Chains A and B, each alone.
Chain A
Amino acid sequence: MSSVVIGTTISSNLVFAEIGEPEKEDLTFGFIKLTDMAPLAIAYEKGYFEDEGLYVTLEAQANWKVLLDRVIDGQLDGAHMLAGQPLGATIGYGTEAHIVTAFSMDLNGNAITVSNDVWSKMKQNIPHDSDGKPVHPIRASSLKPVIDELKAEGKPFNMGMVFPVSTHNYELRYWLAAGGIHPGYYAPSKGDVSGQINADAFLSVTPPPQMPSTMEAGTIHGYCVGEPWNQQAVFKGIGVPVITDYEIWKNNPEKVFGVSHSWAEENPNTHIRVVKAMIRAAKWLDEENNANRPEAVKILSKSQYVGADYDVIANSMTGTFEYEKGDKRDIPDFNVFFRHNATYPYYSDAIWYLTQMRRWGQIDQFKPDSWYLDIAKKVYRPDIYSIAVNELITDGVVEAADFPDLESETGFKPPQTEFIDGVTYDGRFPNKYLDSFSIGLKGKEDI
């Protein structure tokens, strides 16, 4: 609790004081070519970084591992990261390093796509409405017979996700498990980091931009990835997105902005200023009911950012999502950058990721509830976020009403119920939450 107390006292002291000059003015931030890197691109293009006296270079990275390693060894000052990455790195899953985040970049924004072949078989198990369109959300139980059929022929069912500690890995696993399909366990202490022990569906890592071509080549039957790589499959006619992550867990946290702990210690003013610029960018992205989205799409379609065609990016960024070709539906919250307190780094979000790491064996030993909170506090830094928000309020750029009440905020969202399997999540009781799943490690179980 101590860090929160310190955090709030600092922030209340600083409300009327201006933050000092940035310690480091020339910064390089990494990102992966995905639409949810938008706050970085907007903060750059709209001059928000420059307003803070920061000269930022944005650099696309080859994959999530390269990006993380470059933040750790200091080649990058910070980066667009998977929410699980700072947590995974801090607890030492994969490359060990203390990474922190003070800014949550967005909510939702992913989907699960299967190949045309799998879709045609799945479709037979899905109820259709009076218009002849499949009823959404589509459950993994409709995929189960397809996998069973392959199993009977002795063939594996392969799917791609982007990184072992990615949101996508956990979302895909969540969806599969909710439909009775076992996505397999990890057993790092036994040297097994493939995550395929006892699996019905075999998940492996593929970098986001390569998902469509890997599926086209037949190496994987489907994947879970961020935009625009699901819509790209629709445009290319090679696959069908069956479900968005919004339908798996409504308003789930997705990317964060991560920096190394030592960088944050050495550059406190710079860090706050970066967060300030990004909060402004997030606000711009959601302003007036997404009125700026077309302009944002235009910026993102430039080759130095996401680079995909305007139409492909616009499909999901402007509040719609196209499932099967021609089946375009409204999902106004497909990509949320600001509303619903999207930018606040909630401890409960961090703890959810940790529960999933435990559920699938990446954390292979029982941990008490207090451990989950300790790690969350070590990685998620609402104290820095609060200073940035207070500054912005003082500057008159944002209104206090746009944010949770920073003085009383505990960092825990109220228990969340909108999951596809109907399980309730309360971040205060991670072990109780783990016990409520039928598939997954619970209690003191290990592999």
Chain B
Amino acid sequence: MIKQNAYAAVFGGVKEALSIKNWLFPLLGIVVFLALWNTSASRINTSLGEFPSPVVVYQQWNSLVNDHIEEREKEVAFYERQDVRNAKKLANDPDYIAKKRPYTGKPTFFDQIFTSLYTVLAGFGLASLIAIPMGILIGLNGHIYSALNPIIQVFKPVSPLAWLPLVTMVVSATYVTDDPMFAKSFLTSMFTVTLCCMWPTLINTAVGVAAIEQDLLNVSKVLRLNWLTHVTKIVIPSSIPMMFTGLRLSLGIAWMVLIAAEMLAQNPGLGKFVWDEFQNGSSNSLGRIMVAVIVIGFIGFLLDRVMLMIQRLSSWDKTQVLR
């Protein structure tokens, strides 16, 4: 049954995507935007040259792709040299345990995209793990809600830039191991993301839980469901739409926060890429930053779509309009 529903949901989505209304107008929008961008770009003269036009951005995209290919070739050579060196060491000292170490060259644009995605998902996942149970708890119990509400209200509006120094110092002080499983930079980015993005999920879940229809609550009472069954069968399913609204907001915030955190703390990822290019002050810099801006936007959009799809799959009310 669930499988069929899921299929219908996906199929419905595909069918919708193919209708004229759904591609003509977006295309028109994009064309007009590109034209506007092209004409205004030529009028903005910065000290690094003209503001990049769509054509320049496309060229920079290509150069980033080439950079990536070139770097991969260097990586292969690096591993070959390493193997030779390890073999030599092993010949000198049979007890030597050769360590296969990762490439030490620069991360390319595409490596940075991957790092950012990985970090944002980790931070968002952690935030959801905290926010959903807590949201359910405070939604169910008015007392806990009143106790936690002031804290939530105070921490919710704090900017990532304010959290970052604290998180950085705390991570450096507490995460001390000789052979760390995670890089400190990854942890600081991730925790900053978590701290900033958990609030919408938390609040929306709480509101969703608190607003369950009285009929459903009555059903639960009549059937004398125990607490756990009540939560899993009644509370969670009926609060899913609100929960997902929160999750989607959270993921959007997570992505924005991550880029800012990476820029400020020089943690690997797209944010660092942008900052590095800005610091380079080369004539290619603006074009490359623009590539990053578009990619950041595009990934943000994709993340939202993925959440929407998960919501479609997990929501019991398929008649609900989702956009």
Q: Which A residues are closer than 8 A to B by beta carbons?
A: 25-26, 33, 44, 47, 50, 53, 55-57, 59-62, 66, 73, 75, 209-210, 212-213, 216, 232, 236, 238, 301, 303-304, 306-309
Contact = CB atoms under 8 A, between A and B. Distances in A.
What 7 A-B pairs come out closest when comparing CB atoms? A307-B280, A304-B106, A209-B279, A236-B47, A57-B104, A62-B266, A73-B172
A216 B45 CA distance: 13
Contacts of A238: 47
B266 A33 contact: no
Interface of B: 47-48, 67, 81-82, 85, 89, 99, 101, 104-106, 172, 184-185, 264, 266, 275-285, 288
28 contacts: A26-B101, A50-B85, A53-B89, A57-B104, A62-B264, A62-B266, A62-B275, A66-B266, A73-B172, A75-B172, A209-B278, A209-B280, A212-B47, A213-B47, A216-B47, A232-B281, A236-B47, A301-B282, A303-B106, A303-B280, A304-B105, A304-B276, A306-B280, A307-B282, A308-B280, A308-B281, A308-B282, A309-B283
Given A236-B47, A238-B47, A301-B282, A307 B266 contact: no
Nearest to B268: A59
B266 A209 contact: no
Contacts of B280: 33, 209, 303, 306-308
A307 B184 contact: no
Given A73-B172, A236-B47, 14 more contacts: A25-B99, A50-B81, A50-B85, A59-B266, A62-B264, A75-B185, A209-B278, A209-B281, A303-B280, A303-B282, A304-B106, A308-B282, A309-B282, A309-B283
A127 B288 CA distance: 45
Contacts of B285: 307
Contacts of B283: 309
B172 to A, nearest CB: 5
Contact of B277 (A50, A57, A232, A307): A307
B47 A307 contact: no
Contact of A60 (B47, B264, B276): B276
A61 B266 contact: yes
Contacts of A236: 47-48
A81 to B, nearest CB: 17
Contact of A33 (B99, B184, B279): B279
A44 B123 CA distance: 34
A25 B97 CA distance: 13
Contacts of A232: 281
B291 to A, nearest CB: 12
Contacts of A59: 266
Contacts of A55: 82, 101, 104
Contact of B276 (A56, A57, A303): A303
A169 B264 CA distance: 25
Contacts of B82: 55
Given A25-B99, A236-B47, A309-B283, A56 B172 contact: no
B233 to A, nearest CB: 49
A304 B184 CA distance: 21
Contacts of B276: 60, 303-304, 307
A303 B82 CA distance: 25
A306 B285 CA distance: 12
A53 B277 contact: no
A443 B140 CA distance: 73
A359 B5 CA distance: 79
Nearest to A30: B266
A233 to B, nearest CB: 9
Nearest to A56: B104
Contact of A303 (B48, B264, B277): B277
Contacts of B99: 25
B175 to A, nearest CB: 11
A303 to B, nearest CB: 6
B215 to A, nearest CB: 57
A209 B280 CA distance: 7
A213 B46 CA distance: 10
A47 B281 contact: no
A250 B278 CA distance: 33
Contacts of A304: 105-106, 276
A75 B279 contact: no
A238 B47 CA distance: 8
A362 B198 CA distance: 45
B323 to A, nearest CB: 40
Nearest to A72: B172
Max chain A Cβ within 10 angstroms of own Cβ: one of B67, B99, B276, B288? B276
Max chain B Cβ within 10 angstroms of own Cβ: one of A50, A55, A238? A55
Nearest to B89: A53
A75 B173 CA distance: 12
B257 to A, nearest CB: 18
A59 B276 CA distance: 11
A205 to B, nearest CB: 16
Contacts of A66: 266
A53 B84 CA distance: 12
B114 to A, nearest CB: 17
Nearest to A228: B281
Contacts of A309: 282-283
Nearest to A60: B276
A114 B181 CA distance: 49
B279 to A, nearest CB: 4
Contact of A212 (B104, B172, B281, B282): B281
A296 B265 CA distance: 29
Contacts of B279: 33, 60, 209-210, 307
A229 B50 CA distance: 20
A120 B277 CA distance: 32
A353 B212 CA distance: 71
Contacts of A26: 101, 104
A307 B85 CA distance: 31
Contacts of B67: 303
Nearest to A306: B280
Max chain B Cβ within 10 angstroms of own Cβ: one of A44, A55, A73, A303? A303
Contact of A307 (B81, B185, B281): B281
Contacts of B101: 25-26, 55
B280 to A, nearest CB: 3
Contacts of A209: 278-281
A25 B100 CA distance: 11
Contacts of A308: 280-282
B283 to A, nearest CB: 5
A57 B185 CA distance: 15
A47 B209 CA distance: 61
Contact of A47 (B81, B266, B277): B81
A312 to B, nearest CB: 8
A12 to B, nearest CB: 26
A26 B172 CA distance: 20
A50 B86 CA distance: 11
B115 to A, nearest CB: 14
